[in-house]
Structure 1
Amino acid sequence: MARSLLSLSGLALLAPLVHAAELKRITADFGPNPTNVTFNLYVPDKVAASAPLLVYPHWCHGTAEQAFEYKPWRGLADTHGYIIIYPSSPWEADNCWDVSSSDTLTHDAGGDSLGIASMVRWTLQEYDVDPDRVFVTGVSSGGMMTNVLLGSYPDLFAAGSSFAGVPAGCYAADGFGVWNADCAEGRGVRPKVQVFHGDSDEVIHPVNFAEQIKLWSAVLGTGAEPTETVADTPQAGWTKTVYGDKGLLEGSSPPGSRTTSLISDCFSRKTLEKLESGPSCKKRKARKA
């Protein structure tokens, strides 16, 4: 009997090792990738039908592997069955993202953003992913790339959350400019955006919270003045601001320099059920001229 119990205990210990999903480095040709961005993919053991897809670009001096360990996306993916892309910057000097070149700021022109867009397109082809539930989030340089991806590829991303980032194009070289009728005339699809920034951030100055709000309120046509301000939301001490009446743009300014990954609520079934009667983070909505 004792031996049988020991055997069962051994099997119980081995089971998670045998069945647990792992981060996988993708070596296949996944499409146009002019700067040689690499990526890892996390596919949980149980993937939901028509699953959401999350892209999580890392911070400066970070890696895809560190991003995989740093935030709780893996556990949420295991619970809710969504897939995660973890890109790795090709710039070995600092592992930051290219958020300034004209190529990366332009749809399908090149730069790191095109490599990441190719990862998304490849994953949409290879896995049962809902193309209307592709999301992006990141912190610091990853937050900057989040804004770039939302701005350059609104056809791919339904929504995103930037943590301690800067507006898309903030670091563009002098003289950069592209005329685009869809943008200038307010046509085409628009992503939903949440902006989080600690009011005492000593690395990325808090003024960039207001700058990101200015950027996206102009793009989304919500106006830069909040239509609603809610204290102690989503946590005590935080201030939530809402812009416009369609749930397209929200900001949260917590005290201190560290922010919590509350955007994970958008992947929580409980939250999604609550949002059924109001603005939802689940689906993109096209904006008509």
Structure 2
Amino acid sequence: MPHMATQYGFALLFPEQQRQNNLDLCFDWFSPGDNRRDTGKALSIRQMVAAATARHGLDPARVFCTGLSAGGAMTSSMLATYPEVFAGGAIITGLPCGCADTFARAFDRMRLLGMPRGLELTAFVRGASGHDGAWPTVSIWHGTAEATVGHGNAQAVIGQWPPLHGAAAAPDHVQIVRGQAERIAKGAEPGFAIDALKRPSEAAFPAFAALCVEIVRHELWRRPQRDSARPAKPRHAR
């Protein structure tokens, strides 16, 4: 990963959980004290991003977020709570933002029990920040053989974001990438999309390697960047 960062010219920031906060070193993505704007872990990560951007003179319009499993769920929360900060993100084996608010419900959602539906999930994102600008590009990665976080969570995440982008719930097209089906739903504005890729197993696809693939394959750092301050057009599911 550092080699690719050097080769392609991007900086890396690795937020980590502390064992005193979580014995498994997982982000508490479901905790209202950690997954809401300007509170807990979400605020801490936001401050890390701001500090790294200022210290290294980075382009604040070209910041991306990714994570695996609990980190994928935390990525959902970060994209929802700070959409003006991130140009895009890769949610890898994650869960939709706002789907759980207790430890017990988090495990239920991982097993696809009691998952909120459709526009209810979208409402969680809309209410997470009061954002009225353009939304981040979202790339969704989830193994079909994943046993810990049920594969149906990928569909829940896919259903959460298209209305925000003015995209249809169904993909615009499906293409085969290295033998895997990739479904792409493009938004109403150029340069924004929901990109979902299923893989049989996540074992050989760590979160940060996946982000490297996304950056290289889509050349995200070269895309025209959105102006998050401009008035947003109304976005409705088609």
**TM-score, with structure 1 as normaliser:** 0.63
Aligned equivalent of 1:242: 184
Q: Which has the higher contact order (CA 8 A, sep 6+)?
A: 2
Q: 1:78 to 1:179 in 2, by over 3 A?
A: closer
1:106 aligned partner, one-letter code: R
Separation of aligned partners in 2, 1:244 and 1:81: 27
Aligned equivalent of 1:263: 211
Separation of aligned partners in 2, 1:138 and 1:252: 15
Separation of aligned partners in 2, 1:264 and 1:178: 26
> Cα deviations across residues 50-100 of structure 1 (Å, max 9, x unaligned)?
xxxxxxxxxxxxxxxxxxxxxxx2121121232111111132422111212
Pair 1:99-2:29 in alignment:
yes
More strand by share: 1
Separation of aligned partners in 2, 1:166 and 1:271: 23
Q: 1:213 to 1:89 in 2, by over 3 A?
A: same
1:223 to partner: Cα distance = 2.4
Q: 1:257 to 1:272 in 2, by over 3 A?
A: closer
Aligned equivalent of 2:112: none
Aligned equivalent of 1:85: 13
Separation of aligned partners in 1, 2:46 and 2:73: 15
Residue 148 of structure 1 aligns to a residue whose secondary structure is helix
Separation of aligned partners in 2, 1:243 and 1:75: 32
Aligned equivalent of 2:87: 158
Pair 1:75-2:17 in alignment:
no
| Structural mapping, 1:16-165, within 5 Å | 73-90=1-18, 91-108=21-38, 110-165=39-94
> Cα deviations across residues 119-165 of structure 1 (Å, max 9, x unaligned)?
01111221110001111111111111111100101111111001100
Aligned equivalent of 2:139: 194
Quick one: percent identity of the two aligned structures?
25
Aligned equivalent of 1:203: 148
Separation of aligned partners in 1, 2:29 and 2:184: 27
1:259 to partner: Cα distance = 5.8
1:284 to partner: Cα distance = 3.9
Q: 1:105 to 1:145 in 2, by over 3 A?
A: same
The answer (yes or no) to whether the contact 2:132–2:232 under 8 Å persists in 1 is yes
The alignment's C-alpha RMSD in Å is 2.8
Aligned equivalent of 1:45: none
Aligned equivalent of 1:272: 219
Q: 1:223 to 1:164 in 2, by over 3 A?
A: same
The answer (yes or no) to whether the contact 2:81–2:128 under 8 Å persists in 1 is no
Residue 51 of structure 2 aligns to a residue whose secondary structure is helix
Pair 1:172-2:101 in alignment:
yes
Q: 1:163 to 1:259 in 2, by over 3 A?
A: farther
Residue 98 of structure 1 aligns to a residue whose secondary structure is coil
The answer (yes or no) to whether the contact 1:101–1:111 under 8 Å persists in 2 is no
1:221 to partner: Cα distance = 2.7
What number of residue pairs does the alignment pair up?
203
Gaps of 5+ in 2: 106-123, 234-238
Separation of aligned partners in 2, 1:167 and 1:102: 14
Q: Which runs of 4+ in 1 moved over 2 A?
A: 101-106, 177-183, 218-221, 244-247, 255-263, 265-268, 270-273, 282-287
The answer (yes or no) to whether the contact 2:89–2:137 under 8 Å persists in 1 is yes
The answer (yes or no) to whether the contact 1:133–1:284 under 8 Å persists in 2 is no
Farther-moved stretch of structure 1 (251-260 vs 158-167): 251-260
1:213 to partner: Cα distance = 0.3
